[in-house]
Amino acid sequence: MPTLEETIRGLSPEALNLYRQQLPERLKVMGELERNTLLEQLQAMPEFRAMPAEPQEPPAWQKPLQWLRTAEQAAGAFLGAPFSPAVAGTEHLPWWEREKAEYEAWEAPSVEMGFKYPQWLGGEEVTLGVKGALELTPWFATTIATAGLGGMAGLGARTGFTTLTKAAQLGQKAIRPVIADMTTIIS
């Protein structure tokens, strides 16, 4: 397999320009460890010496949504910790930082679904992967927790057991701050 430097040097001038144009968008979706490694390799090449060190700032409409992505990735890193392989250079990091770096570098298994996204969504192959499943867990967990408490309140209302209804209401009041605190801690 050719190295990154060999691949870049083999590009035509038009392809190199296209790669330079697409690079900031690609850097945005990479994990921190992967992005920093790529930037170090590229900045060592004469073709990329004038390249900015950091990717461009995301559009304003994406900034409020970034905490969601951070929470999803943190849940994935926590749940995938037993499965993600050790990464060289992370031995002396604090536990959470090490787990996040290992999760970012993890080449988790995925299955191609056999069709592509529409062109307006990027036109890439649809895959079902372990990382995606792990990152969906917070959505399912909060839905199950709040729906379960709501179901318990409904059962209490139908049976006339008001203590059950009050307990469910207290549970819902208790779980909302916990979920809010979890998203604050994760981000």
Domain ranges in the chain are: 1-56, 63-187
CA 11 – CA 25 distance, rounded (Å): 19
Q: With beta carbons less than 8 A apart as the criterion, state whether 114 and 127 touch.
A: no
Average pLDDT, the chain: 77
Average pLDDT (28-46) is 81
Q: Which two tokens stand for residue 164?
A: 């059950």
User: Is 59's pLDDT higher than 80?
Assistant: no
pLDDT in tens, 97-113: 889 888 888 888 888 88
Chain mean position to CA 92 = 23
pLDDT score recorded for residue 48: 72
User: Is 77's pLDDT higher than 70?
Assistant: yes
Lowest-pLDDT range, 31-45, 89-103, 119-133, 141-155?
A: 141-155
With a threshold of 0.85, does the pTM exceed it?
A: no
Q: Which of residues 130 and 154 earns the better pLDDT score? A: 130
Cβ within 8 Å of residue 173, ≥6 positions away? none
Average pLDDT (101-129) is 84
pLDDT in tens, 80-91: 888 888 888 778
Buried b (16+ CB within 10 A) or exposed e, 156-181: beeeeeeebbeebeebbeeeeeeeee
